[in-house]
Amino acid sequence: MSSLTSALPPAQGTGARVARWGLYLILLLFAAYYLLPLLLMITTSFKSPEEIRTGSLLSLPRDFSLDAWSYAWNRACIGADCRGMAPYFLNSIVIVVPAVVISTIFGALNGYALTKWRFRGANIVFGMILFGSFLPSQVILLPMAQTLGALGLAGSAGGLILVHVVYGLAFTTLFFRNYYVSIPDDLVKAATIDGAGFFQIFTKIMLPLSLPILVVTIIWQFTQIWNDFLFGASFAAGGAQPVTVALNNLVNTTTGVKQYNVDMAAAMIAGLPTLVVYVLAGKYFIRGLTAGSVKG
Amino acid sequence: MTMQTPSYRPAAGEDAGAASGSAAPPRTTGLRAMAQRHLSKLVVAPSFAAILLFVYGFIAWTVYISFTNSRMLPSYELVGADAFAKLWRIERWYVAIENLLIFGGLFIGISLIIGILLAVLLDQRIRGEGALRTIYLYPMALSFIVTGTAWKWILNPSIGIQQFVRDLGFPGFTFDWIVQQDTAVYTLVIAAVWQSSGFVMALFLAALRGVDQEIIKAAYLDGASLPRIYWGIVLPSIRPVFMSAFVILAHLAVKSYDLVVALTGGGPGYASDLPATFMYEMTFRRNQIAIGSASALMMLATVVAIIVPYLYSELKGGKRV
């Protein structure tokens, strides 16, 4: 994967140098555009309320303070509950971990079965599962609310885990299916000749080859479920709400003096887990993003 | 990209009772052996059943409810297409539809332009390409509920950009789109483009890297300029990516919800409502379940019209999707 123009000789002369500078200038201006909201959040979260009132939007904090962060973490009021973001952050972890693990396991097994042990109609089954990744959630909100109520899961973390597993299956199956398609069938063939069965081949041959796609899938599911707002807002009641819903409630609380530094610190708290994962393993995240759409 | 490899089915007599594709003739009898032969189907079955129920069953349920007169609670008495007729008489629905057209058109168009521009510029052997790519794409990793907090502040006339520019010595400067009925929807475009254009860049950059370098070299030696090479040869050769990017952006536009909640809340009034917020409002706040369901089905129909032809052509070709 090298630049298209790397086959060409480098351009020479003053004109080319000016063009080069212009190119970098444009790219850096765009970088500033993308970074601005994040930088604003970070700098504002370290400022005091006085500094926000008197200072400029873009200035760096003069008196670096962590007060807003600690206030947002365990004292800020979300509705009538003044325990800060901490309990909701924990809720999100409780929802995300099992939902990611379960949907990834099913996705891996589906992808394996749909590519290496194809049965009649496998393509139709895959197509029908895949459509789920484009489904506008609004179509299933009401029936899901009713069903969770009937199952006794309304408003609970268990209900949200179920929802995220079901609607994550389309993506996890897609990822593994596309990855396993490119693994030679001869590997499976040879193993069956040696007498290995379905699950033996999966655990001994396929899984050891699956590390890259496993990382892609886990990161993708983690990001999607952590960032979910619609399901959390629709299906989780008060104390079981995920961190995104809590953040929205906190920011939109109209009583009292608006503490922008606390809002920004709370937003950073809600955003940090996915941001850290992105910075550490962005390459896998991008692969997940483009997995559904790149063709050459 | 890899074409789909032919599926493997063990030939008859090749395996001794181990799990095999359904094409293998039955050798042993009994439950265990049967389970082995159908393991593949059994493994997919729970997921498929869940999808059948939670996707297709729920769509059917929503269709049914939309033909009833359900208000606060679902009622199961069919009354015909009343809810649809009512939906298309609600002014707020027209506002949401019109907003979707404005928002969707601008969002898709501008994201494509910025995404392609950045991809082509980044493809010029840029120092620090990796870092720039990371910066352009990070908004996709964050919930808009998170970044919307910052956008709301930036767009807020009394504390954001407007005030900032006024403090710089331009007291007449006005940028108050977010609080004006006519312009609030354009703030959604600004923020949505910010969030998704990096993703378009990644799609196109990956495609650019797949173009045969020899063609470029030949065109260059023929004396074609770089812009001409990109416009005349490279971009036309990656046409399928335009289609993918369009389909993805279009369905994101129809589904946009978090963005509106975080930025404008649909306001002022309902001036920046989109179908997704309209549906939520009707269903969960106004006790108009049937109308809410009808509006959800309109969204589904739009997404299906965009997605199904695309998926069909992709799957039929046996290519990776």
Domain boundaries, chain B: 87-316
- Collapsed DSSP state (helix, strand, coil) of residue A258: coil
**Residue A121 maps to a domain:** yes
Residues 86-125 of B with CB under 8 A from A: 114, 118, 121-125
Distance CA B321, CA B315 (A): 7
Interface confidence, given as ipTM, is: 0.86
Cα angle at B36 between B30 and B37, to 5 degrees? 90
Which residue of B126, B161, B216 is in closest CB contact with A27?
Answer: B126
Ranges of residues in chain A whose predicted pLDDT is under 70: 1-2, 6-7, 9-12, 254-256, 291-296
* Cβ-based neighbour number of residue A214 at 10 Å: 18
Partners of B65 on chain A (C-beta within 8 Å) are: 142-143
End-to-end CA distance of chain B: 10
* Contact of A188 with A235, CB cutoff 8 Å: no
**Residue A221 maps to a domain:** yes
Q: How does A28-59 read in b/e, with b if 16+ C-beta sit within 10 Å?
A: eebbeebebbbebbbbbbbbbeebbeebebee
Look at residues B34, B42, B57 and name the one whose alpha carbon lies nearest to residue A110: B42
Question: Mutate which of B143, B251, B281 to disrupt the A interface (most A C-beta within 10 Å)?
Answer: B143
Q: From residue B92, how far is each of A21, B83, B257, B282, B293 by CA, in Å? A: 50, 15, 16, 11, 15
Partners of B264 on chain A (C-beta within 8 Å) are: none
Helices (H), chain B: 31-37, 39-51, 58-66, 82-87, 91-122, 129-137, 144-155, 161-167, 184-208, 213-221, 226-229, 235-237, 239-255, 258-263, 275-280, 289-316
pLDDT of residue B318: 52
**Residue A54 maps to a domain:** no
A–B CB contacts, 8 A cutoff, strictly below: 344
**Residue A157 maps to a domain:** yes
Sign for the CA dihedral angle at A262, A264, A267, A271 comes to negative
Determine, for residues A260 and B153 on separate chains, whether the beta-carbon distance falls below 8 Å: yes
Look at residues A67, A174, A40 and name the one whose alpha carbon lies nearest to residue A115: A174
Partners of B217 on chain A (C-beta within 8 Å) are: 7-8
Sign for the CA dihedral angle at B94, A144, A230, B45 comes to negative
* Residue B107: HSE in the Cβ half-sphere, 13 Å Cα cutoff: 31
Q: Over pLDDT 90: what percentage of chain B?
A: 32
Determine, for residues A129 and B47 on separate chains, whether the beta-carbon distance falls below 8 Å: yes
Ranges of residues in chain B whose predicted pLDDT is under 50: 1-28, 319-321
One-letter amino acid of A167:
Y
pLDDT of residue A60: 81
**Residue A195 maps to a domain:** yes
Partners of A112 on chain B (C-beta within 8 Å) are: 43
Distance CA B253, CA B210 (A): 28
CATH number for the domain spanning A232: value is 1.10.3720.10
| Residues whose CB is less than 8 angstroms from the CB of residue B176 and which lie 6 or more positions away in sequence, other chains included | B157, B162
Token readout for B167 is 């403090």
pLDDT of residue A93: 95
Name the CATH code of domain B87-316 (choices 1.10.3720.10, 3.30.420.40, 3.40.630.30, 1.10.510.10): 1.10.3720.10
Asked if B245 has any chain A CB less than 8 Å from its own CB, the reply is yes
Burial class, B242, CB count within 10 angstroms (exposed 0-12 / middle 13-18 / buried 19+): middle
How many structural domains compose chain A?
1
Determine, for residues B151 and A125 on separate chains, whether the beta-carbon distance falls below 8 Å: no
Determine, for residues B220 and A8 on separate chains, whether the beta-carbon distance falls below 8 Å: yes
Q: How many residues does chain A have?
A: 296
Name the residue range of residue A111's domain: 86-236
